[in-house]
Amino acid sequence: MKKILLLATGGTIASSETEQGLIPTIDAQQMLSYIPEIEEICYLSGISIMNVDSTNMNPKLMAKIAAAIYSKYQEYDGFVVTHGTDTMGYTAAALTYMLQNIKKPVVVTGSQIAIKALNTDAKKNLTDAIRFANEDFPGIFVAFDSKIMYGTYAVKVKTRSTDSFQSINFPTVAEIKEGKIIYNSILNNDEYRDKFKSHELKLQTNLCEDILILKIFPGIKPHIFDYIKDNYKGVIIESFGIGGIPNADYDIVSKVQELIQAGLAVVITTQCLCEGIDLSIYAVGKILTKYKIIYAGDMTTEAATMKLMWALGNLKDFSSIKDFMEGRFL
Ligand SMILES: NC(=O)C[C@H](N)C(=O)O
């Protein structure tokens, strides 16, 4: 049997009711005691590396999770990270960039209802995550509501329901029904299984925090860009639709040009959840292609955020930052 390590970080899954509201209190060992049957398929150990509501997750804590996986990498065949759902998409994406070429599965999971509560979704999610961590399928994944998704595509789309995660702009990897893993036949899974074979696992946890996500809205005042220019190294602009930024009365495009001239990495994405950008369609999009912008393609904002932090923290020149940002990452 394989050896799987559970790393607990907090979240609703580990929470208890208190007078102040839900607070994470349960450690990794206690969590495993709720799902004793899973010990039939693998050897399980658990460690608690922090206990936070994931609202308080940050780049330094993400680096701590990646470093914990790396330090136990030789001892275990697969890893499960329990995490709050609110920032799970960000952490799953960050782990993908921090642990490039990983050859074992890391499955991030959590729940909408605490593990100790009646009707919890935690036991199912945790069991599914362990089952997938027991496979020979390398990469960083999110397990939620019977679905296995790549960490760079998982987005929390609902605040209350248990089917709160979706894989956005990429197929789910597998579904887990009654304990059976059913791989998605749309993906050529063998190709994904083998993809990291020739490269060494690297731990690179440096993240540049000097970035901003800016959502454009009708009437946005251009002068906010002067502040951005002086205070940040990169900005992700959530433009309209397939990719448009105002260039008429409220001229934002010339402000974008100023940011680029000042040396900032400017990433253009969309505020629509699905289908990504294509700046070649409308004049209001085409105008941007004259400048040295970075295209977010169909990346989620969560992935673009952690990817830009990683790129600015680890790469020096604009062209390697652009290449890294625009490459597909699983
Ligand atoms: N369902 C959850 O886990 C939400 C919680 N606030 C967290 O992200 O830690």
Q: Position of tokens 């799902």?
A: 35
| Catalytic residue status for 85 | yes
Distance in Å, CA 256 to ligand 1 centroid = 35
Q: Is 9 in the pocket of ligand 1 (CB under 6 A)?
A: no
Distance in Å, CA 318 to ligand 1 centroid = 36
The CATH fold assigned to 211-326 is Rossmann fold (3.40.50)
Given 9, 82, 85, 120, the catalytic residue: 85
Q: Is 125 in the pocket of ligand 1 (CB under 6 A)?
A: no
The CA–CA distances, whole Å, from 202 to 73, 107, 256, 287 equal: 11, 18, 34, 39
Alpha carbons 60 and 56: distance in angstroms, whole number? 11
| Catalytic residue status for 12 | yes
Q: What is the ipTM of this complex?
A: 0.94
CATH class, 2-194 region: alpha beta
Paired with 60 in beta bridges are: none
- Give the long-range contacts of residues 282-285, CB within 8 A, separation 24 or more: 282/242, 282/243, 282/244, 284/244, 284/245, 284/246, 284/247, 285/239, 285/242, 285/243, 285/244
Per-residue pLDDT of the chain (330 residues; tens, 9 = 90+): 999 999 999 999 999 999 999 999 999 999 999 999 999 999 999 999 999 999 999 999 999 999 999 999 999 999 999 999 999 999 999 999 999 999 999 999 999 999 999 999 999 999 999 999 999 999 999 999 999 999 999 999 999 999 999 999 999 999 999 999 999 998 877 777 666 666 899 999 999 999 999 999 999 999 999 999 999 999 999 999 999 999 999 999 999 999 999 999 999 999 999 999 999 999 999 999 999 999 999 999 999 999 999 999 999 999 999 999 999 888
Q: Name the pTM for this structure.
A: 0.97
Start and end residues for every CATH 3.40.50.40 domain found in the chain: 211-326
Q: Is 84 in the pocket of ligand 1 (CB under 6 A)?
A: yes
Distance in Å, CA 41 to ligand 1 centroid = 28
